Amino acid sequence: MSKRYYFDHAATTPLDPEVLQTMKPFFRDKFGNPSSIYQEGQQAERALTEAREKVQHMINAADSREIIFTGSGTEADNLAIKGAAMARKDRGNHIITSKTEHHAVLHTCEFLEKHLDFEVTYLPVDEKGFIDLQELEEAIRSDTILITIMTANNEIGTIQPISRIAEIAEEHDIYFHTDAVQAAGQLEIDVQQSGVDLLSISAHKINGPKGVGALYVKKGTRLLPQMQGGAQERKRRASTENVPGIVGFGEAAELAVKRLPEKRQKLIKFRDKIIDTVLDEISEVRLNGPRGDQRLPNNVSFCFRYIEGESILLNLDMLGIAASSGSACTSGSLDPSHVMLSLGLSHEVAHGSLRISMGYSTTEEEVDYLLEHLPSVIQKLRDMSPLYEG
Ligand SMILES: *Cc1c(COP(=O)(O)O)cnc(C)c1O
């Protein structure tokens, strides 16, 4: 394949070569089951403990026993929301979330409404994607048991005021879960400082392997396991652990912590260069999400009027550029993204969305290549569009 320019790190990231090296022995030589008492098992168990401590360190949890490894970020979200909701059913059945959550959260909430008689409030967001804390307070009822609001949005990069939400939740004795899958590796995460009760992360979004995630569960938080079987993960997530995956997750977490300051500085510079150049060189374009510190360092999202996101992606792909329109999960369907519609955009505008997401490996040369080609791709598509009167 000729040189590719990968701008879809929010969908997934390339596995870091150092991470792969640490995983390799655990596929064959170190194959033991961590639950076994002989040496092979204990070797695997020690590797799990080490990885758990690295993930603990990345989010500054007080104790490594607060980390539950799962099969993905999606599973961590499911376990947090269903697990907390079912464990607290004696206190109420009302959950609060937002309209711009990832489907792993939204569809889980909808499932609880439909099949288990929970009631869910979906908070609206403003034109930049923020929830309103006043509206959050007003939505709280005596039977509210859980608030789940993402740390940062995967499509538009909006960072929610997590510490303030955690304070409000605590005042009312409500559990607070946050999906931090997109924030990990981009922002410092400190669960002790922010005061969240439950937090989800995923390895493949931080240059780790696919198929492994983690849920932070603050000590004392009630959680009903969602999988029945063995006593793994302190009886909170049955099934033999994915040892190579978890080892890779630990290594990726350690690298993410080490690389964060430099990576953040670099990506903020690239992000702002892309935003400034596109707003300057292309007309009738809208930046989705905020500018500055309240936006993820690696995320840029635009809507270009008169054209379709899908055709932008196909044209970029032919030039060697991989980007996305909305999220990877909604592509393939013709509906515009629920996030874009929640910002108050019309279907027509929402259809012209483009997400550019960067990562550790992104270079300035790649950014310049993108900026060299994007304006002409947009112009070409507009020239063909019956809606456009250039
Ligand atoms: C990718 C993503 C998920 C899902 O994680 P998987 O490990 O792919 O299941 C959940 N939430 C957000 C915000 C994401 O970006």
Place of tokens 């439950």: 198
Is 109 part of the annotated catalytic residue set? no
Q: Which helix (H) or strand (E) holds 304?
A: strand 299-304
Which residues' Cβ are closer than 6 Å to ligand 1? Answer: 72-74, 77, 102, 104, 150, 154, 179, 181-182, 202, 204-205, 213
Ligand 1 mutation pick, 102, 153, 199, 301, max ligand atoms within 8 A of CB: 102
- pLDDT digits 0-9 by tens, 62-98: 999 999 999 999 999 999 999 999 999 999 999 999 9
Q: Which residues are 321's β-sheet partners?
A: 5
User: How much is the CA Rg of the chain, to the nearest whole Å?
Assistant: 21
Q: How far is the CA of 372 from the centre of ligand 1 (A)?
A: 31
Specify the ligand 1 atom closest to the Cα of 329: 1
Q: Cβ(264)–Cβ(222) under 8 Å? A: no
Nearest to 338 by CA among 102, 108, 158: 102
Whether residue 245 lies inside any domain: the answer is yes
Same domain as 367, residue 247: no
Among candidate residues 255, 271, 300, the one where a domain is terminated: 255
Q: How confident is the model at residue 327 (pLDDT cuts 50, 70, 90)?
A: low
Q: Please state, in angstroms and rounded to a whole number, the distance separating the CA atoms of residues 118 and 214.
A: 25
Domain around 320: 5-12+260-384
Q: Give the burial class of 347: count Cβ atoms within 10 A of its Cβ; 0-12 exposed, 13-18 middle, 19 or more buried.
A: exposed
Whether residue 389 lies inside any domain: the answer is no
Same domain as 317, residue 213: no
Whether residue 77 lies inside any domain: the answer is yes
Q: Which helix (H) or strand (E) holds 353?
A: strand 353-357
Same domain as 248, residue 219: yes
Same domain as 324, residue 246: no
- pLDDT digits 0-9 by tens, 14-51: 999 999 999 999 999 999 999 999 999 999 999 999 99
- Of the residues 227, 275, 329, 371, only one is catalytic, namely 329
Among candidate residues 216, 240, 255, the one where a domain is terminated: 255
Q: Please state, in angstroms and rounded to a whole number, the distance separating the CA atoms of residues 320 and 323.
A: 10
Same domain as 175, residue 128: yes
Nearest to 209 by CA among 65, 352, 22, 29: 22
Give one word for 67, left, alpha or beta, with left for phi > 0 and alpha for psi -120 to 50: beta
- Check whether 333 has a pLDDT greater than 90: no
Q: Which residues are 357's β-sheet partners?
A: 8, 299
Q: How far is the CA of 180 from the centre of ligand 1 (A)?
A: 9
Same domain as 281, residue 242: no
Please state, in angstroms and as integers, the Cα–Cα distance from residue 71 to each residue in 139, 203, 234, following that order.
32, 10, 16
pLDDT value of residue 168: 98
Whether residue 72 lies inside any domain: the answer is yes
Single-letter amino acid code for the residue at 292: G
CATH number of residue 130's parent domain: 3.40.640.10
Q: Which helix (H) or strand (E) holds 123?
A: strand 119-123
Whether residue 138 lies inside any domain: the answer is yes
**Mean pLDDT calculated for residue range 361-367:** 98
Ligand 1 mutation pick, 79, 205, 337, max ligand atoms within 8 A of CB: 205
Angle, to 10 degrees, between the axis of helix 309-318 and the axis of helix 364-384?
Answer: 130
CATH number of residue 343's parent domain: 3.90.1150.10
Same domain as 83, residue 112: yes
Same domain as 142, residue 57: yes
Among candidate residues 228, 255, 282, the one where a domain is terminated: 255
Same domain as 300, residue 217: no
Same domain as 185, residue 60: yes
- pLDDT digits 0-9 by tens, 264-287: 999 999 999 999 999 999 999 999
Specify the ligand 1 atom closest to the Cα of 211: 7
**Mean pLDDT calculated for residue range 301-330:** 89
Q: How far is the CA of 16 from the centre of ligand 1 (A)?
A: 18
Whether residue 390 lies inside any domain: the answer is no
Same domain as 283, residue 217: no
Ligand 1 mutation pick, 153, 156, 181, max ligand atoms within 8 A of CB: 181
Q: Which helix (H) or strand (E) holds 98?
A: strand 94-98
Specify the ligand 1 atom closest to the Cα of 75: 9
Domains of the chain: total: 2
CA dihedral 327, 379, 359, 214 (to 10 degrees): 0
Place of tokens 């789940």: 148
Q: How far is the CA of 179 from the centre of ligand 1 (A)?
A: 8
Q: Cβ(237)–Cβ(68) under 8 Å? A: yes
Q: How confident is the model at residue 390 (pLDDT cuts 50, 70, 90)?
A: low
Tokens (6 digits) for 29: 């030589």
Same domain as 292, residue 175: no
Q: Please state, in angstroms and rounded to a whole number, the distance separating the CA atoms of residues 197 and 177.
A: 6
Q: Cβ(73)–Cβ(104) under 8 Å? A: yes
pTM of the model: 0.97
Whether residue 61 lies inside any domain: the answer is yes
**Mean pLDDT calculated for residue range 202-227:** 98
Q: Give the burial class of 214: count Cβ atoms within 10 A of its Cβ; 0-12 exposed, 13-18 middle, 19 or more buried.
A: buried
Whether residue 278 lies inside any domain: the answer is yes
